[in-house]
Copies of this chain bind each other. A is one copy, B any other.
Amino acid sequence: MPILLQVLDLGGTFVFAISGAMVAVRHRLDIFGVLVLAFAAGNAGGITRDLMIGAVPPAAIADLKYAGVSALAGLITFFWYPMTNRLRNDVLWLDAVGLAFFAVAGAQKALAHGIDPVMAALLGMVTGIGGGMLRDVLVSGIPTVLRADLYALAALAGAGVVVSAHLLHLSPMLAAVAGGGVCFALRFMAIRHGWHLPTSRPAPASGAPHHRHHDQDR
């Protein structure tokens, strides 16, 4: 079981480190900046989860494999960027796999630390979206994970399946497969069919929303 957890965690780290490195290359950071952003994107979700559940030092700090996997992903992306970029659509699927890995691993680790089941599902979601959020904040964008089709919801659904299976005393391996499958399937269908959740309608008078928010709360 700890082995399953670590495989999922490291797999998610690798995939998100690639996404972080790709964003860094696009913003013309040098090779070291690429490695830093790869590590940040690959590990911010897991580190946040570990700090929240009191697992200190976080796995990404205590265990060198996380830094190693992140560096590997960063170097691959840096040296073969045109190729990675051409595979961008495949990367989208890969990213959905990483999301599924992290959602499952996050929920299982939180449960193992005695966190309340509902909160464990939310922490699974945080593990899945944390890396992407930091990645986008560092390059000054609104996090795509807050906008992309069913992104955070898919992570929560997968983590929820893991938690439900835990409450039903099913095997962790089965829970991981089912939860990961649900997360991946939801995200896959959202990408393929453009599924998305409703947005609210801001009041008509509010004009250009992006340029006014600095003043809204003053």
Contacts from A to B (Cβ < 8 Å): 19, 22-34, 36-37, 47, 51-54, 56-58, 61-62, 64, 67, 77-79, 81-82, 85-86, 88, 92, 95, 115-116, 118-119, 122-123, 129, 132-133, 136-144, 146-150, 152-153, 156, 191, 196-203, 206, 209-210, 212-218
A27-B95 contact given A79-B200, A85-B202, A140-B140, CB 8 Å threshold: no
A142-B146 contact given A64-B116, A81-B201, A82-B203, CB 8 Å threshold: no
Query: Are A54 and B53 in touch, CB under 8 angstroms?
Result: no
Known contacts A19-B217, A51-B56, A61-B115; 17 additional CB pairs below 8 A are A23-B213, A26-B209, A26-B212, A27-B209, A29-B147, A32-B150, A33-B152, A52-B61, A53-B61, A54-B56, A64-B116, A67-B122, A136-B213, A137-B137, A138-B143, A141-B214, A149-B218
B25, B191, B215: the one contacting A202 at CB < 8 Å is B25
Question: Dominant SS at the A interface?
Answer: helix
Query: Are A36 and B118 in touch, CB under 8 angstroms?
Result: no
B62, B122, B133, B210: the one contacting A138 at CB < 8 Å is B133
Residues of B within 8 A of A47 (CB): 52
Residues of B within 8 A of A198 (CB): 30-31
**How long is the Cα–Cα vector from A52 to B25 in the complex, in angstroms?**
27
